[in-house]
Structure 1
Amino acid sequence: MSEAIRLGVNIDHVATLRNARGGVHPDPLTVAKAAVAAGADGITIHLREDRRHIRDDDAERIRAWNGAPVNLEMAATEEMAEIACRLKPHAVCIVPERRAEVTTEGGLDVVGHRATLAPIIARLNAAGIRVSLFIDPDPAQVRASAEIGAAVVELHTGAYANGKPGELEHLAAAARLTEEVGLECHAGHGLTYANVGPIAALPQVRELNIGHYLIGEALLTGLPASVREMRRLMLAARNK
C-alpha cells in the first residue's frame, strides 16, 4: 500500500458565511469539530491581514480546542509571526496575500523574497512550529524553499484545477524534487471530486488542503458526507 495521505479541511468560508450577516452562526469551531469527526486529519485556517473571514477569536478558540492539528495560513508579516508564535499551531503555511484578491491567486515568490522570508521562518522554527511555503510547482521555488529553512511546501494546484495544459506534469516533477531536497510535499487550491484523483495519486504528496469546494458541497449533502467522499476519492486514487 502507498504512503498515507492526509486531508486538511480549510474552514475559512464558514467564517465568510457567518460574517455576511454578523453574529456567531455558523461557528467555525463547531464546523472544525464536525469535519474531524467525519475523518479530516487537520484543520486549516487563514488569518488574513484584513480579517475578512477567520478572526482572531476563531483562531484562539480553534487552537485552544486542540482536537486536531491546526495549519495556520498567514502572510509573511511581523504581526502574523507574533500571533503564530503565541498560538503555536502545529504548522504555519506562509502564503502570498494581496488585499484586493478574492482568494490566493498564485504561489509565493520564495526566490525573490528570501530576505523577508528567512528571518520569519527562523523565528517560527525556533518556536517549534513546522513551516510550509505555498508555492507554484517551479523547481527554483522548491529549491529555494529548502534552502531557507522550510520543512514543507504546499504546491499550488490552481492552474491544474483550471485545466492548464501540462500542469499535472509540472506538479509531478515538483513533487519528485521535494523528495530530493528533503521537503515534505503538500498540495491544494481548486481541488474537487472530479480533479483530486491525479494529485492524490502522486506518491510524494502527503497532504491535501481543501476548503471552498467541500463547504460548497456541504450545502447539498452535509459536511460529514462531503469530507467522507473526498477522503474516499483520495484514498482510492492513492491505492489504485
Structure 2
Amino acid sequence: MARLGVNVDHVATVRQARGTNEPDPVTAAALAELAGADSITVHLREDRRHIQDRDLFLLRQTLKTRLNLEMAATDEMLGIALKVRPDCVTLVPEKREELTTEGGLDVLRHRQLLKKQIEPLRQEGIIVSLFVDPDLEQIKEAHRLGSDAVEIHTGAYCETRRYDKRYAELLKIQEAVRAGGKLGLGVNAGHGLNYQNVQDVVALGGIDEFNIGHSIISRAVLVGLERAVREMVALVRPGE
C-alpha cells in the first residue's frame, strides 16, 4: 500500500509573507501525522524562502513518522543534512528565480557532483532519493550512482490539459515506475499532484510514496488540515 508524504513548505510560505511566527509548519506537521501522513517533507532552499533551518531541526526532534528533506546538491546543504540526519534526503534541482521546482535532475550531466553527495549520506544511514523526470536513462544512472530511490517528477502529466498528451505522460510515468522497480529502487512520485489527478497515478501501482504539498495545504485553508490530509490518504490508499 502506498504511503503519503505531506509537504508543509507552504505553511511556512504564509508565515514568511508577514515575517511572523505563524502559521507554524512544525505544528502543521504534527497535525498531518495525526491525520494519517506517513512522512513529512520539507525543502530547505538556498534562499530560505519558506522553510528555515530552525524548522528543520525542530521537525527532526518532534516528528513521530519519517522526515524527508528535499535539498539541492550543495556542500552547505550536505553539511546541514549530516547534522540533522533526516530519514531520507531527496536531491532536487534548484534555481533562485523559479517559483517551484521546474523539472528533474539531470543525473547524467551531474553524476560526479551527485556521487559526492550520495556517498556520505548513505554512509550515515540516510536513504537517498533523486528527483528525476520519467526518463529511463536518468533512472538507470541514478541506480548506477547508488541512489536508494527515485522520485518521479509528475509535473508534465499534471500540467497537461489535452487528453492524448496527458495519457502519453501517464504512460511515461508507468514505464519509469516499472524501470525503477526492476532495478530494485524505491519509487516515489510527486509534483503537481492533487485531488483530481492523483487517482490515475495511484492506479498504475508500483509507487511506494506520494509526496504532495501545495494541493493539500490549499485545501486545508478551506476545510482544515486534518480533513485535507485524510481525504488525500483515502485517494492514495483506496479501500483502506
- Give the match for residue 195 of structure 1: 197
Instruction: Please provide the CA RMSD for this pair.
Output: 1.1
- Structure 1 residues 101 and 8: alpha-carbon distance in aligned structure 2, compared to 1, 3 A threshold: same
Unaligned runs of 5+ in 2: none
Identity %: 51
TM-score (norm 2): 0.96
CA distance in structure 1 between the aligned counterparts of 2:131 and 2:65, rounded to whole angstroms:
21
CA distance in structure 1 between the aligned counterparts of 2:139 and 2:94, rounded to whole angstroms:
19
- 1:122 counterpart (119, 122, 126): 119
* Aligned pairs for 1:211-222 within 5 A: 211-222=213-224
CA distance in structure 1 between the aligned counterparts of 2:136 and 2:196, rounded to whole angstroms:
27
Q: Aligned-pair distance for 1:183?
A: 0.4
Q: Does 1:149 align with 2:131?
A: no
CA distance in structure 1 between the aligned counterparts of 2:23 and 2:110, rounded to whole angstroms:
37
Letter aligned with residue 73 of structure 1: E
Q: Secondary structure at the match of 1:208?
A: strand
Q: Aligned-pair distance for 1:198?
A: 1.2
Q: Secondary structure at the match of 2:208?
A: strand
Number of paired residues?
235
- Conserved 8 A contact 2:132-2:139: yes
Q: Does 1:22 align with 2:7?
A: no
Q: Aligned-pair distance for 1:64?
A: 1.1
TM-score (norm 1): 0.96
Q: Aligned-pair distance for 1:234?
A: 1.6
Q: Aligned-pair distance for 1:202?
A: 2.1
Letter aligned with residue 195 of structure 1: N
- Conserved 8 A contact 2:92-2:130: yes
Q: Does 1:208 align with 2:210?
A: yes
- Give the match for residue 9 of structure 1: 6
Q: Which string of whole-angstrom CA distances, capped at 9 and with x for unpartnered residues, describes residues 183-233 of structure 1?
A: 010000001111000111222101000000100000111111111111111
CA distance in structure 1 between the aligned counterparts of 2:24 and 2:60, rounded to whole angstroms:
14
CA distance in structure 2 between the aligned counterparts of 1:65 and 1:228, rounded to whole angstroms:
21
Letter aligned with residue 96 of structure 2: R
- Give the match for residue 159 of structure 2: 162
- Give the match for residue 99 of structure 2: 102
Q: Aligned-pair distance for 1:77?
A: 0.3
